């Protein structure tokens, strides 16, 4: 297991100087944020990013994410050009030593929350998904940080309508087409592709979502018979549906060698199916982080792992979910569990 940390580049209020001070941190996962979705990333920008990270004694082996253009997901417009661009990005990233690429196939909205700074009883704040509040939202007029805000209300309405017409099976078809196009390139470049599950793992605003549960993960992996075709298994995304037994899924897909990147975080599932993102410790949420790491340990996980979102604590402000302190606590907690497992089992 290699412990890593997400870093949003030089604009990130959390600096590499701080990240390198977290014990046992091997590297960061990052991306080129200045290039519009679907375009080819200039090689000099990739080189520059890598040099910045390595100058601080950290590795850059994982890219999160190379986003997939909506035209690819909808199978319309310039999707063929965007798929070719995607292949070129895989080649260029591989040439700079990237070993793993995280991506997702969520239509329009990436992760969805009803509030990004919900106060908790201990004075910290966190991202929450309260069903009642999400049901009241108008997706065409909605903007949350991290979402593509470049659409006008009319464009957003059209886009949402197109996905409703496409439906789940249409989305599967376009995902299959994308996978069959890009995977031979990834295999040739020896780059592991890890799809990130949908967050949360259910349909929102009537838009299809398909990377949501075990049955669909099985169907996804069956699309291409090669180990490079795998998962970025995110415990917090899959885990906010109580039907997903995360340690069991880690065992299953880890044994198959299909988990390339692990996102570990905890969520507290509320009675009505809403959830709050909690501290990493098992005692703070509904998921058992020790059982998850035990599963990774038992399958001999060699991939990358990172603490996923954290709360905002100790007065920190910044990008919701991506402050320094709570994620650093999460990394230390997980490193402690891992070291204990190694000592108990003699490595």
**Residues within the interface to Mn ion (CB under 5 A):** 234, 263, 308
- Taking the complex as a whole, the smallest distance from the CB of residue 156 to Mn ion amounts, in Å, to 24
Min. distance of Cβ 243 from Mn ion in angstroms? 18
Our CB check for Mn ion shows the closer of 68 and 159 to be 68
Catalytic residue among 234, 260, 304, 326: 234
Residue number with CB closer to Mn ion (127 or 160):
127
Annotated catalytic, 308? yes
Question: Smallest gap, in angstroms, from Cβ of residue 133 to Mn ion?
Answer: 22
Q: Which is nearer to Mn ion, 175 or 233 (CB)?
A: 233
CA dihedral sign, ordered 71, 72, 74, 76: positive
User: Could you tell me if 226 and 190 are in contact, meaning their C-beta atoms sit under 8 angstroms apart?
Assistant: no
Q: Is the peptide bond before 322 cis (omega within 30 degrees of 0)?
A: no
CA distances from 184 to 99, 181, 187, 242 (A): 15, 7, 5, 35
Query: What is the Cβ-side half-sphere exposure of residue 224, based on CA atoms within 13 angstroms?
Result: 24
Contact 323, 316 (CB under 8 A): yes
Q: Which of 12, 82, 163, 196 is catalytic?
A: 196
Nearer to Mn ion (CB atom), residue 234 or residue 250: 234
Provide the token pair at 107. Answer: 């239509």
Quote the longest CA-to-CA distance of the chain. Answer: 60
Pick 71 or 198: Cβ nearer Mn ion: 198
Count other C-beta atoms under 10 Å from residue 65's C-beta: 17
Name which of 25 and 127 has its Cβ closer to Mn ion: 127
The catalytic position among 263, 297, 326, 333 is 263
Q: Closest approach of Cβ 308 to Mn ion, in Å?
A: 5
For residue 4, which phi and psi values (nearest 5 degrees)?
Answer: -130, 175
Phi, psi (deg, nearest 5) at residue 164: -65, -40
The verdict on whether 322 is a catalytic residue reads yes
Q: How far is the CB of 31 from Mn ion (least distance, A)?
A: 14
Residue nearest to Mn ion (CB): 234
Let me know if 251 is a catalytic residue: no
Using a 10 angstrom Cβ sphere, with 0-12 exposed, 13-18 middle and 19 or more buried, the burial of residue 53 is buried
Active-site residue identified among 163, 224, 322, 333 = 322
Q: Is residue 28 within 8 Å of 6, Cβ to Cβ?
A: yes
Q: Write out the E strands in the chain.
A: 2-6, 27-30, 59-64, 100-104, 115-119, 125-129, 192-196, 229-234, 259-264, 266-269, 275-278, 304-307
Is 69 among the catalytic positions? Answer: no
Instruction: Name every residue whose Cβ is closer than 8 Å to that of residue 10 and which is 6 or more positions away in sequence.
Output: 52
Pairing of strands 125-129, 275-278: antiparallel
CB of 196 to Mn ion, least distance (A): 6
Of 178 and 322, nearer to Mn ion (C-beta) is: 322
Minimum distance from CB of 236 to Mn ion (Å)? 6
Residue 234 appears among annotated catalytic residues: yes
Is residue 71 part of the annotated active site? The answer reads no
Q: Which residues are catalytic?
A: 196, 234, 263, 308-309, 322
């Amino acid at each position: 297991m290699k412990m890593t940390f997400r870093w949003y580049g030089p604009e990130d209020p959390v600096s590499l100087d701080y990240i390198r001070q977290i014990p046992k941190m091997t590297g960061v996962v990052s991306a080129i944020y200045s290039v519009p979705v679907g375009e080819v990333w200039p090689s000099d920008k990739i080189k520059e990013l890598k040099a910045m990270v390595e100058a601080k004694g950290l590795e850059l082996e994982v890219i999160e994410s190379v986003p997939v253009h909506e035209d690819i997901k909808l199978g319309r417009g310039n999707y063929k050009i965007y798929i070719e661009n995607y292949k070129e990005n895989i080649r260029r990233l591989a040439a700079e030593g990237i070993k793993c690429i995280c991506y997702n196939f969520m239509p329009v909205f990436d992760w969805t929350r009803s509030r990004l700074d919900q106060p908790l009883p201990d004075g910290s704040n966190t991202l929450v998904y309260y069903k009642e509040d999400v049901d009241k939202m108008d997706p065409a007029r909605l903007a949350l940080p991290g979402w593509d805000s470049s659409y006008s209300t009319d464009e957003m309405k059209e886009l949402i309508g197109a996905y409703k017409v496409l439906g789940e099976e249409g989305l599967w078809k376009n995902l299959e087409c994308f996978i069959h196009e890009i995977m031979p390139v990834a295999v040739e470049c020896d780059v592991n592709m890890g799809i990130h599950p949908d967050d949360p793992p259910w349909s929102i605003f009537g838009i299809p979502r398909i990377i949501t549960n075990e049955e669909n993960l099985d169907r996804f992996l069956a699309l291409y018979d090669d180990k490079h075709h795998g998962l970025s298994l995110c415990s917090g995304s899959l885990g906010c549906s109580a039907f997903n037994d995360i340690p069991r899924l880690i065992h299953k897909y880890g044994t198959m060698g299909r988990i390339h990147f692990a996102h570990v975080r905890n969520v507290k599932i509320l009675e009505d199916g809403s959830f709050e993102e909690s501290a990493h410790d098992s005692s703070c949420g509904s998921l058992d982080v020790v059982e998850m790491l035990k599963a990774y340990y038992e399958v001999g996980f060699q991939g990358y792992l990172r603490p996923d979102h954290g709360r905002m604590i100790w007065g920190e402000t910044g990008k919701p979910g991506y402050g320094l302190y709570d994620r650093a606590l999460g990394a230390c907690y997980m490193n402690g569990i891992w070291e204990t497992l190694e000592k108990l089992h003699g490595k």
